Structure 1
Amino acid sequence: MRAIIPFLVAAFLVSATPASADSVTLFNEAGTPLGQGRMTVFDGAAGDRIENITPDGGLTVTAQNSATFEGMTLRFTGPTGVLEQGSFPDAQDYDKRQADHAGIRVGPPLYDSTPCDRYRGSFEVRDLRRDGLGKITRAWIVFEQHCESGPTSYFGELRIGMPASGTGPQTLPALVRWPEAEAGGRGLAVPVRVHPSAAIADVRVIGEDFAVENDGCTGKVDACDVKVRALPSAAGTQVAALRVTDVAGGSTDVPLQVFAHGGTTGFTLDSEPGEFVGDGQHWQYGPEDDIRLSGSLESGLNMRIGEVPDGNAGWTFQIGPGDGDLLVPGKTYGPVTNYSSPGPRFEFYGHGRGCGDWLGSFTVHEIAFDGHDVTRARISFEVHCFIDPDYDLRGTLSWHSGETTPPAPWMVPSVSGEPAPPPGVSATVTVFGEAGATGSRGVRNVYDVAAGDRITATSEEPGVLKLQASGGNYGTPTRIWLVGSSTNMDFNPGVVYRGATDVQKRVDGLASMDVDAGVWCDRLTGSFEVREFERADDGTVLRAWILFEQRCLYNEPAVTGEIRIGAPAVIGPRVVPTLLRWAREEVGGGGVAQPVSVWSGAGVAGVALAGADADQFTIRRDDCTGVAAVRGEPCVVWVRPSTARAGVLRATLRVTDVSGAVTSLPLEAFDHGGTTEYKMVSQPGEWIGRGQTYAYDARSDLVVEGTPSHLEGYIRGENGDDWTFDLAPPAGGALTVGTYPNALSYRVNGDKPGMDVSGNGHSCFGDVTGSFTIHELEIVGNEVTRFKFTYEMHCKGATPSLTGTFALRANDPTPLAPWMVPTPPQVVPTPTATATSTATATPSATATATATATATATPTSTATVTATAAATATPTSTATATATPTTTATPTSTATATATATATATPTATATPTATATATATATPTATVTATATPTATATPTATATATPVATATATATAPPSPFAKVGPPEPTVKTRARTATADAVARCVAGGKALAKARASRRRAVAARLARAVKACRDAVSALPASSERTAALGALKRQTIAIRTMRQRRPGAAALRRARAQLASAARTLAR
């Protein structure tokens, strides 16, 4: 009892200081004009529910408004996983943070549905207390959060268990800190809620650079708001206080803080007289205007001037470096095109005026990023609208240009902590997607367990690898699934698995893969090379080094990358990836700049290219040399191949740290040779080409795919042009080299050849006549590897013609790179008893005869081998067997067929094995055949075997069941079969419609173009089905998709039109999904 009394006294003394009610205050400037930000308050004193949770050293707080039931969650943690007092200016998304980074996640309120891949922010823990069990009992946190690379923020304050701030009025928040602002600009007008203890007598700002914009409290005795705005007149840290005084003499000072950037921030626009968009005027904006800038090195910049003094709507300005390139200082980009094209991109519109296609260039004079947030930029441009070539529009954007302002105290980390311990086993994954590659969005994802990313890899059965990675430099997850050509045989180091199919549609005997970066793709193909692989008996991957390349629709931009688990330690700087291999390109097409993450605690002294082909690579951007090393952060060097020469290109990137240690990163690329181009001539009055001449080379996207029964292609020009073509043989035929006269529309050609060429919004609508000649056609597996055709087409019987030539690697003699040539896995043969070479046989003796036959021929896709073995025993000491295999096939590749027959002389036995191309099969009882595709060939070998009467052995093997095998369903009804057939026919359009509905504005037209091609294929497939209610419904849904696509492909559709289009896509998706 005596021990309890002092405890009660101590508890009373602690609680004697009155505590203020818990509160959360959130200000939102995201998506709102400046001055119209919304305040959200959760106030425990008003009955709102605020719950404090302390999970694993961090802090999670849930808040709910008692009146509106609106709620949100706030989460904070420190770099080590334990929340501490101090400043954390480089916090990452709580659930996606990397090691050595603090975590923040302020769940946005319900009224904001802005999508965000990963949040970033900063926070300061001004007060923090824990009880004896480690639970947080007191916390005061000031925070700011924004979507990574986004221009607007949530900011506010969290207070739990804090004592009351004196006897004067209580305020929410107790401190106001604005997001970073501009010197000479203005911050968001922030409402401060006041709970008076007596009538409010006075409200004023003590200090400079802030002002009371609206006093809603003087004379009030109930809760009221005072609206305060930051008006920083100079660069640097600016502080003041809002003083609220009541009639009883009590007062409360609310600290006001803002950091203002220096340098130059502004936008100027000069429009020549007669120029439409700028209206022939001079426009000028400065830091006092609402200029917001966001973007990245790879995708480009997006500037918006929202609220301006004269009340106009403002301007939107967008630039991009083009597919595969980066924004770098000192470079001029041009000629520019629109955002659906692979070349440098430019867009500018506002005040109700715009241009569909701009022509001209822009120059990057200065640009810098902090992670994925732009910090400094200066861009100038000179363009004209394509319909008004005589009138130019010029402008300059500056954003903190030339800034040298030191950061505010809360922008400097005050808690260093210990570096995160290195993982027991190294593991890295890179996923690099070319711009426009399905499954990638063109980003460069790097995952590294040493950076705190999560990578799990399992191989629960031989020849199967499943990997998941999360976190990474962009915070997006990736799933990779690789399967060898045989699931009962493990991955073999040194084996190249080429022609891999979609793992979800796996064909037994072929390798398969799926690199899923979160974007839909209907058909996948690719290859992967296994350099190292070791697995434990329980499926744990001990060591792996795998390079992969995956494409959607065969020739579209690729996703490439590396899996490296258990890499040996290096003495010099550590680099990720450990081998950088680019996707195959067309010579002259322009390579893709890829990042190399460099970890060097000592700092990097220099980077350089070396090796035989060093002149074929360029260091596009070096953010490592001379840059101070940041603990827990890599620096990045961007490297790009030139694609100026066909064939294999090899070099090394040498990274040297300040101590002199060197790490060399191998670089590998391959460029196809031959001719890749598309030329088209439209006679005056011709509808499709509008009487113009067109020419595109490998710098444009030229794609062809299909089979000999139907080839389709598309051309996405650097200038934004978009063309498609289709070719088909007469019904039942196959396309091959030759001329096809009297062609009709490929949809209704019947016994005639079929063709169609359309694009740029023009089509013959299925009514064409013409002819075409195929000069070269090579299809390997399911991929068109070389192709050239010429054509002449007339629309609706019109006299003016459209003629053209399409070539993909025509006459290309370039040998493939070693990693592009499939390597068959090495199979360890099953031991078989071996008979002695001589024996004496009695009339009843048993003899074993073995026959081997080999046939070689020209390419084919399937092979059939038949072997007949006969053995006859006589009262002598030997037995003789004769085998006659016959091989027949159709074109694809060279094959070697081996037939082994074992017969028991009793006195005659016959074995007949059969093999399928590119597969290994065992025929029971006595024959094993290995074959890899052959054409028509016949071989008649004869073999003689001598055996003892006692040495008889026959080895047979039973293949394990495929892990992908499923128990078949009951026999379907007619209606079920119709539904299943229809579902299969429209599967790609279901997923494509969903992707289009969610597509960002910058990608909408490209996704719509891709879906348009898919809808065409779906419509053809559905039309070929027998009549049924499912077929009718599917055709109606596809028609709704087509109508929506037309809207989505417009350059700037209205908001109402977009809503209707999305509704049509949703309706079509529901119908097709049934």
Structure 2
Amino acid sequence: MSVRRLVALATLLAATLAPTTLAPPTHADAETQQSLQGFLPGFVTMVSESGDYIGGGLSRSYRDNISVSGGAGVVVVSAGPYSFEFAAPSGYSLTPGRYPGAVRYPFQELGEPGLSVSGDGRGCNEVSGWFTVLDLAPDRVWIAYEQHCEGGDAALFGEIRLGSSFDQDQLTVEAGVMSWPSEHPGVPVRPTPVRVANTGTTPTTVRSTIEAGANDFSIIHDACPQSLAPGASCTIHVGVTPSRPGVRLGLLQVLDDRGSRREVSLSTIGIPGRTEWHMSGEAGDWISGGRSYDYTPQQGALMGGGGTETRAWMSVDHAGDWWTASFEAPSGKILLPGQTYTGATRYPFNSGNAGLDVSGSGRGCNELGGEFTVHEATYDQGYLTSFRISFEQHCEFSAAALRGEVSWRAVDPDAPTPDTVAPSAVSDLTVEAGATTARLSWRNPTDADWVDTVVVGTPGTSPASMGRLLYDGRQQQATVTDLPLSGPYTLTVFTEDTSGNLSPLRSVTLPGGTTAPSEPEPEPSPGPVPGPASGPGAGSTGSTPPVTQPPEARAVRLVATRLSRVRFRFRARADVWAKDARGVLQRRTSRGWRRVGSRSFSDDGRMRITRRVPLGKSRYRLVVRLDDQRVISPAIRVRGRR
């Protein structure tokens, strides 16, 4: 798993700022989804990093002939030659909230959101990423997204904002929320263009500033002229270099001399931990040539790492140098902190011994001996999330040694102390409400690290930090429109700081069909735990829909029989309740459980399926779907042999 995606996933799963509840679809929800048909005004942006297959490393924007369709929890947007598909987990409506852990639509498993950006003759076989629905209704769509193709590190990311949510009168700024992929502190991320257009009838002067988060975000190029003619457009390029680990937030402000003001939220994640590669060889060592090598991401090195309980790997590519390192525990053992593994021979030909191999740049050992020490190793469900390993290698068993140490997201004693202090809340919140509009005013806090004030709307009477985005900026008033006519509707106001901490919530509930709102009441703080940023309330994990547990009597057992070194027959046994049900065999990967095959159960509740397994240890399980429920077998381990 790539460093960026692992960091983003880990942060998403840990974030608890604004848990999103995905409501089961109702009849009204289905009607809303079906009514998403036709063309809507607005814009679609897509920014492709170098190495991304779909976008080819280019940035694109579309604003003409953008069509939208949807139904049954799915939204499809077509712009230019590209199609953007977003799906809620099966059985759930697509509503405002964050959807992490998205996989390729329409091949996602039960409980997984679906995502696919493709077109111009290009598509992904496998997709990973996330998307955030900021607003969704028959006449408006607002979604931010990030996609990784084929498990790669390079990202394709952007924003879709269509319909009445994009109402910008005479100054148009084609950005509302800008969220960059995560990166190591001190390493710049790909700059993103922002198109600004004069849609008024008179010339104007455009000014842009970073109003908050200037330690992380900057305007690296402003091509807007002194006088922007009616109908003309210009481009501002915004850059980001995370200043420290964790969530980083900021705010871009674009003004003109006619009084128009546009505010754009900015966000990224600084990858935590220390990632480094150091090695030095003695005279006569073939791999190093007797030289020393040192690499860090801050120097521009592309570095990756990962592994399991039994094997760790790391790679580096920089300035024409490329190296890989592999470390495998002896047969029957795992990699544990504080352990030294002696008698290592060349991986993967170590035949039960400890395995070691440091090679690259056109150099490798036919045979080798050595040892390595695991100083740090942390795991998540059996997969390495960080490590620090030192090694000594003797190529062709010569006396000359290659020694070094590799660190991947290891503990960084020099890292700054995380900021977990929540910003102050707004004060003096008031509201004047009409039938479908409301005007709110408040007083902003004076905290030095305050970024913005956010207003979100949700049906019902409970305040929430994730919902329909109504306002995000540094003003002290906002007018919201298109409020529902029926049922109570709650407006929640909170502030954010540069580290993604949220203030205590302030809220007001508007009864449906009346202009008399309830008195604004303070709400308890949602807590200062930072989460990933993709605009306001981005600490949300977009919680996975609850899975209804089947009756206790329903259980399934999975066993495996070896047929050859890498072929196994998997057999599942349930009971008659599983008759004709579909059993899905899944293998655990670094990106979660992935389907590898399926088969229907027989009348007596049995099934079997034969599959080739990868080399090394793997975990498998069986999932049986029945009446919108699922029964999951205990996971088993198998090992493919050479």
* TM-score calculated relative to the size of structure 2: 0.59
CA distance 1:56–1:564, change in 2 (3 Å): closer
Of 548, 551, 555 in structure 2, the residue corresponding to residue 421 of structure 1 is 548
Distance 2:159 2:217 in 1: 19
- Contact in 1 for aligned 2:248/2:269 (Cα 8 Å): yes
Residues 158-177 of structure 1 aligned to structure 2 (within 5 Å):
158-164=160-166, 166-167=168-169, 169-177=171-179
Distance 1:435 1:145 in 2: 38
1:337 pairs with 2:346: yes
Distance 1:124 1:148 in 2: 21
Q: Which runs of 5+ in 2 are unaligned?
A: 1-38, 419-528
**Matched residue, 2:304:** 293
**Matched residue, 1:126:** 134
CA distance 1:264–1:157, change in 2 (3 Å): same
Q: Give the CA deviation at 1:257.
A: 0.8
Distance 2:207 2:271 in 1: 32
**Matched residue, 1:186:** 188
Q: Give the CA deviation at 1:278.
A: 3.1
Letter of the 2:49 partner, please give it.
Answer: E
Q: Give the CA deviation at 1:80.
A: 5.0
1:206 pairs with 2:211: yes
Structure (1/2) with the larger strand percentage: 2
Of 36, 43, 60 in structure 2, the residue corresponding to residue 41 of structure 1 is 60
Residues 559-598 of structure 1 aligned to structure 2 (within 5 Å):
576-577=633-634, 592=639
Q: Give the CA deviation at 1:395.
A: 2.4
Of 88, 96, 99 in structure 1, the residue corresponding to residue 99 of structure 2 is 88
Structure (1/2) with the larger helix percentage: 1
Of 13, 30, 42 in structure 2, the residue corresponding to residue 22 of structure 1 is 42
**Matched residue, 2:269:** 259
Letter of the 1:38 partner, please give it.
Answer: G
Letter of the 1:194 partner, please give it.
Answer: V
**Matched residue, 1:366:** 376
Letter of the 2:87 partner, please give it.
Answer: F
Q: Give the CA deviation at 1:268.
A: 2.2
- Segment drifting more, 365-374 vs 260-269: 365-374
Distance 1:161 1:110 in 2: 25
- Contact in 2 for aligned 1:427/1:564 (Cα 8 Å): no
CA distance 1:106–1:564, change in 2 (3 Å): closer
- Contact in 1 for aligned 2:369/2:393 (Cα 8 Å): yes
User: C-alpha deviations, 1:269-306, integer Å up to 9, x for none?
Assistant: 22334434334333333342344324442685554434
Q: Which runs of 5+ in 1 are unaligned?
A: 1-18, 130-135, 450-454, 460-465, 482-534, 568-573, 584-591, 594-700, 702-715, 717-1074
Letter of the 1:577 partner, please give it.
Answer: P
CA distance 1:353–1:475, change in 2 (3 Å): same
**Matched residue, 2:143:** 141
Q: Give the CA deviation at 1:60.
A: 2.6
Distance 1:109 1:174 in 2: 24
Residues 798-947 of structure 1 aligned to structure 2 (within 5 Å):
none
1:54 pairs with 2:70: yes
Number of corresponding residues: 463
CA distance 1:108–1:265, change in 2 (3 Å): farther
Distance 1:31 1:433 in 2: 41
Distance 2:409 2:542 in 1: 30
CA distance 1:322–1:91, change in 2 (3 Å): same
**Matched residue, 1:408:** 531
Residues 707-786 of structure 1 aligned to structure 2 (within 5 Å):
none
- Contact in 1 for aligned 2:210/2:250 (Cα 8 Å): yes
1:541 pairs with 2:599: no
- Contact in 2 for aligned 1:80/1:417 (Cα 8 Å): no
- Contact in 2 for aligned 1:278/1:393 (Cα 8 Å): no
Letter of the 1:181 partner, please give it.
Answer: E
Q: Secondary structure at the match of 2:66?
A: strand
Distance 2:236 2:571 in 1: 47
Of 159, 182, 189 in structure 2, the residue corresponding to residue 157 of structure 1 is 159
- Contact in 2 for aligned 1:54/1:60 (Cα 8 Å): yes
Distance 1:551 1:407 in 2: 42
Residues 622-661 of structure 1 aligned to structure 2 (within 5 Å):
none
Distance 2:238 2:559 in 1: 47
CA distance 1:327–1:108, change in 2 (3 Å): farther
Q: Secondary structure at the match of 2:166?
A: coil
Q: Secondary structure at the match of 1:166?
A: coil
Larger radius of gyration: 1
- Contact in 2 for aligned 1:86/1:124 (Cα 8 Å): yes
Q: Give the CA deviation at 1:20.
A: 8.0
1:31 pairs with 2:51: yes
- Contact in 1 for aligned 2:142/2:160 (Cα 8 Å): yes
Q: Give the CA deviation at 1:390.
A: 1.4
- Contact in 2 for aligned 1:179/1:259 (Cα 8 Å): yes
Q: Give the CA deviation at 1:206.
A: 2.8
Higher relative contact order (CA 8 A, sep 6+): 2
Distance 2:206 2:612 in 1: 70
Identical aligned residues as a percent: 22
CA distance 1:149–1:422, change in 2 (3 Å): same
Q: Give the CA deviation at 1:177.
A: 0.8
CA distance 1:250–1:300, change in 2 (3 Å): farther
Q: Give the CA deviation at 1:126.
A: 1.7
- Contact in 2 for aligned 1:432/1:560 (Cα 8 Å): no
- Contact in 2 for aligned 1:298/1:327 (Cα 8 Å): yes
Distance 1:187 1:448 in 2: 51
**Matched residue, 1:243:** 253
User: C-alpha deviations, 1:847-869, integer Å up to 9, x for none?
Assistant: xxxxxxxxxxxxxxxxxxxxxxx
Q: Secondary structure at the match of 2:235?
A: strand
Distance 1:194 1:430 in 2: 58
Letter of the 1:206 partner, please give it.
Answer: E
- Segment drifting more, 353-362 vs 170-179: 353-362
- Contact in 1 for aligned 2:124/2:149 (Cα 8 Å): no
User: C-alpha deviations, 1:973-1029, integer Å up to 9, x for none?
Assistant: xxxxxxxxxxxxxxxxxxxxxxxxxxxxxxxxxxxxxxxxxxxxxxxxxxxxxxxxx
Q: Give the CA deviation at 1:419.
A: 1.8
Instruction: Give the alignment's Cα RMSD to 1 decimal.
Output: 4.9
Distance 1:258 1:564 in 2: 36
- Contact in 2 for aligned 1:447/1:471 (Cα 8 Å): no
Distance 1:420 1:426 in 2: 15
Q: Secondary structure at the match of 1:476?
A: strand
Q: Secondary structure at the match of 1:123?
A: strand
CA distance 1:79–1:378, change in 2 (3 Å): farther
- Contact in 1 for aligned 2:585/2:623 (Cα 8 Å): no
Letter of the 1:43 partner, please give it.
Answer: Y
Distance 1:363 1:388 in 2: 20
- Contact in 2 for aligned 1:237/1:258 (Cα 8 Å): yes
Distance 2:554 2:334 in 1: 32
Distance 2:563 2:331 in 1: 6
CA distance 1:20–1:557, change in 2 (3 Å): closer
Of 558, 582, 593 in structure 2, the residue corresponding to residue 474 of structure 1 is 593
- Contact in 2 for aligned 1:79/1:417 (Cα 8 Å): no
1:231 pairs with 2:202: no
User: C-alpha deviations, 1:396-434, integer Å up to 9, x for none?
Assistant: 223153689553255644655862223578465758799
Distance 1:213 1:183 in 2: 18
Distance 2:124 2:382 in 1: 18
- Contact in 2 for aligned 1:270/1:281 (Cα 8 Å): yes
Distance 2:543 2:619 in 1: 36
CA distance 1:422–1:378, change in 2 (3 Å): same
